Amino acid sequence: MGFPETFKALSDPVRREILTMLRKGRLSAGDIASHFDMTGATVSYHLKQLKTADLIYETKEKNFIYYSLNTSVFEEILLWVSQFTPDNTEKEVQEFEETEKK
């Protein structure tokens, strides 16, 4: 999936909370749902949005579905965002130039 789906999924506070919960490790749908005061269908909707954005993946074991973070998507986001921050070398040059002007 692309960035539009990713950022759309990240725009919802419930989905961000689910991602925060999954930082500690995989959880079942029931474990996730028990954290929220909403219907199971609503939690399923949020999980589906996160799966569509490839932010999480599911693993089926017997009668349970477990959800885990897809860290590779987060790495892609970090790489993309990092292009907008100057690296240390550029910062040092800018600071030096500003000091020279004074």
Q: Taking all residues of the chain, what is their mean pLDDT, rounded to a whole number?
A: 86
Fold designation for 3-101: Arc Repressor Mutant, subunit A (1.10.10)
Computed over its alpha carbons, how large is the radius of gyration of the chain?
A: 19
H/E stretch holding 93 reads: helix 88-101
Indicate the pTM of the whole model. 0.77
pLDDT exceeds 90 at position 69: yes
Longest dimension (CA), the chain: 70
Type of residue at 47: L
CB 47 within 8 A of CB 32: yes
Q: Per-residue pLDDT averaged across 41-65, rounded?
A: 94
The domain segmentation of the chain, as residue ranges, is: 3-101
